[in-house]
Amino acid sequence: LGRRFARRRLRSHQRLRAFLLEMFSTFQICACTNELCLLGNVEPKPHAALALTYGFTVLHGLTLSGNACNPCGTLQLVWAGGTSLKAGGLQIGAQFAAAVLARAFMRFLWSLELAEPHFGALSQRCSNPMQITEVQAFCIELLFSVVFQLTVLRVERVHPKYKVHLIALLITMLVYAGGNLTGAIFNPALAYSLHANCFYDRFLSYSLVYWIAPSLGKFLIRYGF
């Protein structure tokens, strides 16, 4: 509804329209993934969590086409000359605003304790998705970012209804391979929405792993391959 309103009612306000479209899209991804993290312990493990990951990713792919929803994707557009620095900065601002809003919204929703997984969710501080050393986590997030972006570039000409399933399958595989090590996030805005408390407690290490590493991966794609 928010995206439809922005498209139809704000045609004469291009910057505001672009900001809201990107914010609503990133909000959807961050809110859904926050809830998905709570459902990760649903039996049978890890099949239920992986099935939900695949389903949510297909849903996002079908409904959010045309939006980056990832600061790294926006940076790559800027580096490639696909958008201006000012427009890219506005887009990244929208993504992080959505990350904060999604975090606040989900915490409000969890406070209502509508479902069993919500019980005690608010009492958690940093859930610490890094189960390995910082250097190893940095390398994994960098690698996953490179693999993901290379795949996206390779399937650009694939029909959209098939492409969303290929991307969803790749993300599910990456989550299965590295979810128990780093969370397999490779999206700075999503990482902040999921683990904001971790950034407050250990800003340097978490910014290196979840902001610098995926951004460097996009840079390597642009200039190294």
Q: Is the pLDDT of residue 223 over 90?
A: no
The position carrying tokens 């959807």 is 28
pLDDT at 69 over 80: yes
- What is the predicted pLDDT for the residue at 162? 92
The pLDDT, as a whole number, for residue 18 is 92
The interaxial angle of helices 71-80 and 134-154, nearest 10 deg, is 60
Average pLDDT of 150-164?
89
- Quote the number of domains for the chain: 1
Per the listing, tokens 């190294």 go with 224
Q: What CATH number does residue 125 fall under?
A: 1.20.1080.10
Say if residue 156's pLDDT is above 70. Answer: yes
CA proximity to 163, closest of 88, 90, 42, 61: 61
Mean predicted confidence (pLDDT) in 118-124 = 79
Domain range spanning residue 68? 1-224
DSSP state letter for 44: S
* pTM exceeding the 0.85 threshold for the entire prediction: yes
Average pLDDT over residues 9-15: 87
Measure the CA angle with vertex 28, ends 14 and 139; round to 5°: 100
10 — pLDDT class (breaks 50, 70, 90): confident
Give the CA dihedral 13, 64, 78, 87, nearest 10 degrees. 10
DSSP state of 155: T
Give the tens place of pLDDT for each residue, 30-60: 999 999 988 877 788 888 889 999 999 999 9
